[in-house]
Structure 1
């Protein structure tokens, strides 16, 4: 059975690395993007079972990316976990309104993130 593809979007290389290692060790395939604009370029028709996205990024932030992704028929239902230092309710509500399925606050426990991924990733 093919591994599930997870798109990890964060402008921090070290964070992408931490998330990537956790996901790969759990058997997922990982594609990295440095910001929302870069991530949209990776949405090239291949299936992503889930995206993990930072909120605050240059060029295109997480909420902007999420809204743009929802416009693409192939990715309208791709679940997104927002991974962020933002614990504020207003950002959380904006994320939910844009279609985020979960909100994980940094610093996070890899197990907590993997539990959310396992629960939300598309079959």
Structure 2
């Protein structure tokens, strides 16, 4: 069973994204910060995609992406969902293997095709 991991410190955003994905018949796991997200990636080998915020307490999304690659050797695609549009942050994300950068607010219908493609790849 494939799953999508949604990582955001905002319960509202996390729940909105997870709810939309579940309405598309996708399995969703949630985490409330990068540290929790990294633990979920380590525990759940059936995660096929991560949708992650950048700015979070305890561990930000870019650090989580970097650690998922370096410490867990994870190849799971990561998409950032954030209010950040700084080119330096995007470069850091790209270096960490981030596959996409979506500026909030979340537009599920606009990106569901890309999400489904990544999950089934």
Normalising by structure 2, we get a TM-score of 0.91
- SS of residue matched to 2:106: coil
- The within-5 A match list for 1:1-123 is 2=1, 4-42=2-40, 43-71=42-70, 72-73=72-73, 76-123=74-121
Residues 53 and 29 from structure 1, CA distance in 2 versus in 1: closer, same or farther, beyond 3 angstroms?
A: same
- Determine if contact 1:78/1:122 at 8 Å carries over to the other structure: no
Superimposed CA distance per residue, residues 13-39 of structure 1 (whole angstroms, 9 cap, x where no aligned partner):
000111001100111111100001011
- Determine if contact 1:66/1:99 at 8 Å carries over to the other structure: yes
- SS of residue matched to 1:104: strand
- Determine if contact 2:17/2:106 at 8 Å carries over to the other structure: no
The total of aligned residue pairs comes to 119
Superposition CA RMSD, Å: 1.3
Question: C-alpha distance in 2, partners of 1:37/1:106?
Answer: 21
Normalising by structure 1, we get a TM-score of 0.90
5+ residue gaps, structure 2: none
5+ residue gaps, structure 1: none
Question: C-alpha distance in 1, partners of 2:83/2:37?
Answer: 20
- Determine if contact 2:69/2:75 at 8 Å carries over to the other structure: yes
